[in-house]
Amino acid sequence: MLHFNQFEKSYFDHLVLKIDNVKIPEGIFWIKGSNGIGKSTLLKAIAGILSFKGDIAIGTVYLKNHGVAYRKLVNFAAAEPLFPEFLSGSEMIALFAKAKGADAGQVETLVNEIGMKGYINNPLGSYSSGMLKKLSLVLAFLGKPKLILLDEPLNTIDAESLDILYHWVNERYEKERTSFLLSSHQPLDVLKLSGLKEISIEDKKLTLNF
């Protein structure tokens, strides 16, 4: 599913992560590692947000050579999402839905299930951190991506919404074979995620623990 080819990411000549030639199959994966080890950096690089040496591919679609096509296959939710405060939640969703080719039925289902309907038309500047997190999750599930990246998805989310998130992850993987990479300092419930596998980052390297 995901192929790293001579991947290197550095900040000011300081090497953060090096992945020579690793292939990650379809599935649901929990990326583990200590603070500052490079988990968020890895997800942002996979999402095409950060520059890096080497290349990353989903199937036969390479980020460096097929940037537009590649980004259509990947959705990303940041650990601490930031959105334009003057837009409403519904306007933000409409922008992403158009870019990701999501239909109105999918938008309505996600918004209703995560409990955003009551404030979806309010400006984002009025949203709490928990409301912004819910919005970021809705955006990450729009369309039909092959890979969804969730950075610290458990942060600021309530128990009811967490159960909904687990349901969304399982449903998308089982029905559409959408793969997931989740980075979380908080323990993920292995009983609620189908066949959850672990990936660790240690000593600037990626290790598949399965």
Q: What is the pLDDT of residues 114-171, one digit of tens each?
A: 999 999 999 999 999 999 999 999 999 999 999 999 999 999 999 999 999 999 999 9
CA atoms within 13 A on the CB side of 178: 25
Q: How many CB atoms lie within 10 A of CB 28?
A: 20
Residue 64, domain extent: 2-209
In sequence order, which residues have a C-beta less than 8 Å from that of residue 196 and are 6 or more positions away?
28, 29, 30, 188, 190
149 beta partners: 76, 181
Q: What is the pLDDT of residues 163-191, one digit of tens each?
A: 999 999 999 999 999 999 999 888 898 88
pLDDT at residue 35, rounded to an integer: 85
- The count of structural domains within the chain is 1
Q: What is the pLDDT of residues 33-67, one digit of tens each?
A: 888 889 999 999 999 999 999 999 999 999 999 99
Say which CATH number the domain at 136 has.
3.40.50.300
